[in-house]
Structure 1
Amino acid sequence: MEVRALAEQPPFTTKDGSTIRSILDLSNAPVDKQSLAEATIPAGGETERHWHKDSEEFYFILSGTGSMEIDGETREVGEGDGILIPAGAWHQIKAASDLRFLCCCAPPYRHEDTYFE
């Protein structure tokens, strides 16, 4: 059985600029098909616009508000919103207030699968 406490996971910065704490991923568990992490972006912050060749992502907003852009379409997002980011889609999230969300990637997140303009 694999159980990981969020509070025990060290934060790191991804290639897109968000601060992540991996809950279950390739670095800390024998995962094969997905990863789960908590991401935070301070008010006024944003990720760098990017895309993933392999990974489809789900974001689930735990707290805060912001705007999510996917392939040129932008929507306001907030607590309780789930967001699908298809593999290959350009995307960026901007925080209007401190933003905290879960990020699930399938296949698991890898720095090498993050591409920029």
Structure 2
Amino acid sequence: MMSKKNAEHYVWGQQCDGWFLEQSQERIIIHERMPAGTSEVRHMHEKASQFFFMLSGIATMELDGENIQLHAHEGVTVLPGVPHQMRNDSEESIEFLVISTPTTKGDRYPV
């Protein structure tokens, strides 16, 4: 059984957390937490398609120059080649799942 409690943990960016729930060449599933006012670096993937699913809070996802808000229990797919950036513009931490197929390891390019 896999949970956030026993998953491999890492810290990224500005004090953001990630937990690897599944890692393989075919798919990677990560539970992430972003404190208020944090963001990831705008980037894209050549091969990986990603699905972001909000567990709690409100996130801003910039997709190819357009901002959309994601609330708890909402998700969005980001296709390969689409520049994107997840931000937490709110005053509370947010948590979400990122499901990438295939893995994003070695497939992340700043834009």
In the alignment, structure 1 residue 55 sits paired with structure 2 residue 81: no
Aligned residues: 107
Partner amino acid for 2:9? P
Q: Calculate percent identity across the aligned residue pairs.
A: 24
Partner amino acid for 2:103? P
In structure 1, the partner of 2:96 is 101
The TM-score normalised by the length of structure 1 is: 0.83
Gaps of 5+ in 2: none
Partner amino acid for 1:77? L
Partner amino acid for 1:43? A
Partner amino acid for 2:2? R
Superposed CA RMSD: 1.4
Partner amino acid for 1:93? M
Partners of 2:80 and 2:32 lie apart in 1 by 19
The TM-score normalised by the length of structure 2 is: 0.87
User: Structure 1 segments of 4 or more deviating over 3 A?
Assistant: none
In the alignment, structure 1 residue 37 sits paired with structure 2 residue 30: yes
Partners of 2:109 and 2:94 lie apart in 1 by 23
Structure (1 or 2) with the greater helix fraction:
1
Gaps of 5+ in 1: 27-31
Partner amino acid for 1:105? S
